[in-house]
Structure 1
Amino acid sequence: MTHDYVRGIDHVGVTVPDIEAATTFLIEAFGARVVYESFTTDQPPQGSPEIDRDLNLHPGTRLVAARLVQLGRGPEIELFQLQAEVQRPASRPSDFGLQHLAIYVDDMAEALRCFESAGGQMLSGPNPFLFPKEEGCGNLFCYGRTPWGMMVEFLTYPSGMGYERGTSLRRWHSCGS
């Protein structure tokens, strides 16, 4: 069975406590660009029981702001600032659901410098990939945390990956995107 109707990931939605601070961080850390504003803080916060139900929000959640930002040539990030009576901190990779945003970089040292300079916290330095099918000369990864607690993986695989010997499929970066 084919799924030709699927083209790929368009964007990832991220809820942040302060959309301006998050946007500034993404610009300083990754050179993000604002594509457009969907909903601004100049507008009164909005919400309804129907939206709460349809989007699986905590009852009474209010939308404060939303905007789409672009990092490099990959999928966009849709930022949301939401107000709710109950809001949990960002999840850990050991929790269920989306666990991190992975960003391919050509210059690991410069990417980590910008990330930390913008207010991010690195959890480790660059390390070789953990899985044999991802190994290759110069292939590195490491994790950091944004100021609002979201996990970010930095990765680079300039020599390709071991899995490529067994399939014609390629990861996003290898497709020339």
Structure 2
Amino acid sequence: MNTGPPQGTPHIDSALHMAAPWSSPAVSRSIPFRSVRAMPSTSPGAGVRGIDHVGVTVPDLEAATAFFIEALGAEVLYDSLAKGQPPQEGEDLQRRLRFLPGSSIRAMRLLRLGNGPSLELFEYAAPEQRPPARPNDLGIQHLAVYVDDMDTALARFQAAGGEVFSSPHELPALEKGPGNAFCYARAPWGTIIEFITYPSPQPYEKQTALRRWKPPERD
């Protein structure tokens, strides 16, 4: 019995290669493609328990910390590398982290942000730094924070110096429901931050037993 794709239908690997932006020769040489079919099906999540933290490079550690505290209610957990300590640098570290040669880490700090993953802030000295990713760029292009009161959260963000792009919009399609909304904004140094809330059940819940992350109900 032929269990392969129908005649004229490209194999999933071929289809992904044709559609994916990394299929160009220059990119595909540096990013090895692994078939989704090759992932082990007997190891749910491959041992992954969840997202532990998100790293954000900022121009000034103290200013960024003050912004996250004022805008999002973050709390400082600890400094992995305090200002005034010798910077972390060198060829071995560059090979492990793949930052631009000639760069050095001047400071690192871990922040707690509500009930979700922590934020790890980095301050680098570097020969050059690109601006933060835009939504159309490859890679991680925004972080999203769940809020209970969208209007209050956006007002607080603006008061702290952030830029809110628009008024909140209803979540679409499989996420819509009364009160379910989102809004994009930007931190002073350019990182895109999405505010999201979904107090009502979402249509996708009728299609799967899986559920997206949501903070526990308040006492």
- Normalising by structure 1, report the TM-score: 0.95
The CA deviation at 1:174 is 6.5
Trace 1:58-97 onto structure 2 (pairs within 5 A): 58-97=100-139
Residues 10 and 75 in structure 1, CA contact (< 8 A), matched pair in contact too: yes
Number of equivalenced pairs: 176
Give the partner amino acid of 1:164: E
1:71-150 correspondence to structure 2 within 5 Å: 71-130=113-172, 132-150=173-191
Q: Are 1:159 and 2:200 matched, yes or no?
A: yes
Alpha-carbon separation, structure 1, partners of 2:200 and 2:208: 16
**Aligned AA (1:127):** H
Q: Please tell me the residue identity of whatever aligns with 2:214.
A: H
Deviation at 1:46, TM superposition (A): 2.4
Equivalent-residue separation in structure 2 for 1:169 and 1:176 (angstroms): 18
Match of 1:23 in 2: 65
Q: Secondary structure at the match of 1:3?
A: helix
User: Which one has a bigger Cα radius of gyration?
Assistant: 2
Question: Once the two structures are superposed, what CA deviation does each residue of 1:27-46 show, in whole Å capped at 9, x if it has no partner?
Answer: 00111001111001121222
C-alpha change, 1:134 and 1:105, in structure 2 (3 Å) is: same
Partner of 2:13: none
Select the structure that is richer in strand: 1
C-alpha deviation, 1:4, in angstroms: 5.3
List alignment gaps of at least 5 residues for structure 2.
Answer: 1-40
Of 83-92 and 167-176, the range deviating more from structure 2: 167-176
Report how far residue 22 of structure 1 moved: 0.4
Counterpart of 1:11 in structure 2 is 53
**Whole-angstrom CA distance in 1 between matches of 2:158 and 2:45:** 40
For 2:79, what is the secondary structure of its paired residue? strand
More helix per residue: 1 or 2?
2
CA distance in 2, matches of 1:174, 1:46: 35
Contact 1:32 1:72 survives alignment (8 Å): yes
Deviation at 1:50, TM superposition (A): 1.1
SS of match in other structure, 1:54: helix
The alignment status of 1:41 with 2:83, answered yes or no, reads yes
Q: Which has the higher contact order (CA 8 A, sep 6+)?
A: 1
Gaps of 5+ in 1: none
Corresponding letter in the other structure for 1:20: E
